[in-house]
Amino acid sequence: MDKRFEGKLERLDACRWRIPKSHKPGMRVDGIVYADDRLVESIRNDYSLEQVANVACLPGIVRHSLAMPDIHFGYGFCIGGVAATNPADGGVISPGGVGYDINCGVRLIRTNLTEADVRPRLNDLVNQLFRDVPTGVGARSPVQFTRQELKQLMREGSKFVVDRGYGLADDVEVTEGHGRLDGADPDAVSERAVERGMGQCGTLGSGNHFMEVQVVQKIFEPTAAEVMGLREGGVCVMIHSGSRGLGYQVCDDYVRELNDTPRKFGIDLPDPQLVCAPVHSNEGQRYLAAMRAAANYAWCNRQILTHLARGAFEHLFKLRPPQLGMTMIYDVAHNIAKMEPYDVDGKSCQLCVHRKGATRAFPPGHPEIPRRYRDIGQPVLIPGDMGRNSYVLVGREGSMKETFGSSCHGAGRLMSRGAAIRDAKGRSIRNELLEKGIVARARGRTGLDEEQPAAYKDVNEVVHVVDAAGLSQRVCQLRPIGVIKG
């Protein structure tokens, strides 16, 4: 939605801006936006800042309504939004604060290969990945589950598919939360959602989802890079996907199911898209149970995609797994709500943290970080666009103090998909990428057009803000050389 923000936006420092709670009636806390001078001008040009103010009206919200520098307009919450509510103080859970693609997220896999190994066979590699990894609307996974198995998968998460041979035990260890949210209840997921999820676990999907072959271009933190097994010139694979049709249907079902819930509990909302329920209510618990089931499905989806990517590399390069060294670095969710402990007025409270287009960024020493990363901080994976860089960062203490352990999740859109397609008219995005040494494959022409680099903010600027603000710290920069999309 294009509507320039005309409200008061107070500059706090080089990276932080405040929307005071006096901006509109009903705001319980201020809004805090992370951006520099350049980014804030583009941010002002859509409705997303008003959404930050709207979220500040939610019951039980703690500290601030937050927005990362990749902020743009979304459903209810802006994309790039973070909000924590306190259930003990009437705090609510809002499906719009998680989004339609529940547990859309990113994982990164390193390899022992270098760009010199891959470049001569890059076309073959991209074609092999395109053959082996189902992409696009309607694609079916080569890995099929019965309805009963699918429900078990939604309860157990990543370990369920790894135990069936689709990955390594170590993959589970380096997945956020071990690839599982407790409290998932497949019986809270509608039959329509289950039907949509049948056949899709192990598919990339469409839109901004991708599988990308990348090269480590620059290292900023050698110690952290060494712990992760990253070296300059090394080849990695980044996977971006979520819960497919199952997660979309869960969100759609509960947006409708909770339609009258705010009125039942006397909650006045500035935007009906913020439909919500108290966390401790039956309605809130039922949505959380279904959302967790969809989140577990998404982790299984990315796990099977990892298995398929490994198979494609092994087939093409005729190397055994130990020679390829395709080990997972980490997997992060960026559309999710989780119960996490934080200090509120000197007391530890379990808060419901909504991250919609935001990545967890826990600092060194946090008990939820895999032991191997405990000294450096949690890996934070930030994809850019097909023509520019992606980043690996690590969480820093500032995130715990300011953003409920959160950082940005990507570059953030500048153009709508329709605008990007119109902008690409008469051009060949595939050829433009090829001129930069990037081989791209997609199911249809619009798959590349709507995701062209110009449709996104410059991820280098976005990452600079979270680094300068002390939320997460740059470890290395990754350059794309091959990509497949729906």
Given the residues 209, 354, 409, 464, the one annotated as active site: 409
Residues 6+ apart with CB under 8 A from 391: 381, 382, 384, 459, 463, 474, 475, 476, 477, 478
Tokens linked to 434: 């090829």
Residues 6+ apart with CB under 8 A from 469: 15, 16, 34, 398, 402
CA-closest candidate to residue 410, choices 103, 83, 71: 71
Q: How far apart are CA 225 and CA 462, in angstroms?
A: 21
Q: How far apart are CA 288 and CA 337, in angstroms?
A: 8
Determine the length of the chain: 486
CA-closest candidate to residue 97, choices 63, 70, 61: 61
Q: How far apart are CA 420 and CA 405, in angstroms?
A: 33
Strands 64-72 and 30-34: parallel
Q: How far apart are CA 202 and CA 140, in angstroms?
A: 8
Q: How far apart are CA 342 and CA 449, in angstroms?
A: 42
What distance separates the 2 farthest-apart alpha carbons in the chain? 64
Whether 409 sits among the annotated catalytic residues: the reply is yes
Radius of gyration (C-alpha) of the chain in whole angstroms = 21
Active site residues: 409
